[in-house]
Amino acid sequence: MTVERLLMGHPLSSPDHARHALLYMYRIRKFEEAVEDLFGRGMMHGTMHLSIGQEAGPTGMCLALKLEDQITSTHRGHGHCIAKGADLTRMMAELLGKEIGYCGGRGGSMHIADAETGNLGANGVVGGGIPIAVGAALASKLQKKGTVAVSFFGDGAMNEGAFHEAANLAAIWKLPVILFCENNKYGMSSSTETAFAIDRLADRGLGYGIPGVTVDGNDVVAVYEACEAAVARARNGEGPTLIETVTYRWKGHSRSDKNLYRTKEEIEEWKHLDPIPNFISKVLAAGILNQEEIDAIAKMAQDQIIEAVNNAAQAKSAVPDGLLEAVFKAVSA
């Protein structure tokens, strides 16, 4: 069974597409589970923000993107990075502070970037990536590259000034950018009910002249369809789209979260809306893959993560040499 590194198209349009969508969602899930396990065993340090439960969003979005299209990501960014096609070993190695890690051990979980797959970087600053994606789209327009830029951000980020200024620039310059809001109902402990005076976050687009779409963020098909339309608009020079995906994070905000601001029942309810079985039932119903093939995909993802963890664990640790020289890129003669 082969799966292309990046495939475009509707997740139900062929067995390959279904396989791809499923493999990527599983990869994200298993990557996050491995990270949680490594933290739990004291083998990883710092903090972590897991995206378990939110796998359909980045997977659906990236199925609508070409390799050259760009993304900016967030503190909860492992899923975006994987969906855009990043190398799992180099990601895991970064989290383990290894030399072969994407940032040479200097960035860690919150700062993975991958120029090869158009990932301009995860971000430790809430909202920090939104204007950057708008700038990438501006460059695309000025250079007539035909590429699209996507900014992933959370519901919480929509209350940063950065979102508002960036949205307006994107709109007035009709830039090929997609503002992709993962509304998981909480920004750390503040719920969208307390942090917003509107129900539908996509309505924020209206004030900027940007179409706002709300979709089920746990349905990779629905996400893909909304994204595909937004990408088409962007490539046609019609400007930005704001997509709000309604989803949920199963785990605490970070390691130190005691989940005091939400109920166990709510968490359980959302676990029943798991994006992976949700897609599997669609795939089975359409007769695109059978159960055996599906099990093989899950196993493949698990094996890939185990391999990444093993490779990363064996890699050489980053050493504190040359840090001063690493601050600036050398000026070329």
Partner 1 sequence: MSTDNRMLTMAEALREAMGIAMDERPEVFILGEDIGIYGGAFGVTGDLYHRFSPERVIDTPISELGIVGAAVGAALSGMRPIVEIQFSDFTAQAMDQIANQAAKIHFMLGGALHVPLVLRTPQGSGTGAAAQHSQNLETWFANVPGLKVVVPSNPADAKGLLLSAIDDPNPVIFLEHKLLYKIPGRDPVPEGAIRIPLGVSKVVREGKDLTLVATGIMVNKSFEVAEKLAAEGISITLIDPRTISPLDMNPIFESVEKTGRLLVVQEGPSHGGFINEVIARVSESSSFGSLIAPIKRLAGMNIPIPYAPQLEKAAVPQIEDIEVAARELVKSWR
Between the CA of residue 243 and those of 78, 82, 144, 146, 148, what are the distances in Å? 20, 20, 24, 20, 14
- Binding residues among 111-150 for partner 1 as defined by CB under 8 A: 111, 123-128
- Binding residues among 138-177 for ligand TPP as defined by CB under 6 A: 153-157
Taking CB under 5 A as the binding criterion, the range among 82-90, 103-111, 149-157, 228-236 that sits at the site for Mg ion is 149-157
165 is an interface residue for partner 1 by CB under 8 A: no
Distance in Å, CB of 159 to ligand TPP, minimum: 8
Distance in Å, CB of 238 to partner 1, minimum: 30
Distance in Å, CB of 187 to Mg ion, minimum: 5
Euclidean distance between CA atoms 58 and 253, whole angstroms:
18
- Residue 317 is given by DSSP the state B
11 is an interface residue for Mg ion by CB under 5 A: no
- Binding residues among 69-88 for partner 1 as defined by CB under 8 A: none
Between the CA of residue 14 and those of 17, 23, 101, 229, what are the distances in Å? 5, 14, 34, 19
Of the residues 59, 117, 184, 241, which one makes contact with ligand TPP according to CB under 6 A:
184
Q: Which does 76 bind (CB under 5 to 8 A by kind): Mg ion, partner 1, ligand TPP, none?
A: ligand TPP
Segment (H or E) for 151: strand 149-154
Can you name the residues that pair with 153 across neighbouring β-strands? 181
Single-letter amino acid, residue 307: E
Torsions phi, psi for 203 (to 5 deg): -60, -20
Euclidean distance between CA atoms 22 and 222, whole angstroms:
14
Q: Which residue has the tokens 């199925």?
A: 63
SS3 72: strand
73 is an interface residue for ligand TPP by CB under 6 A: no
Distance in Å, CB of 235 to partner 1, minimum: 32
Of the residues 114, 155, 228, 244, which one makes contact with Mg ion according to CB under 5 A:
155
204 is an interface residue for ligand TPP by CB under 6 A: no
Q: Are 249 and 270 in contact (CB under 8 A)?
A: no
Contact residues for partner 1 (CB under 8 A)? 45-47, 94, 97-98, 103, 105-108, 110-111, 123-128, 156-157, 159-162, 187-190, 194-196, 256-258, 260-261, 317-320, 323-324, 326-327
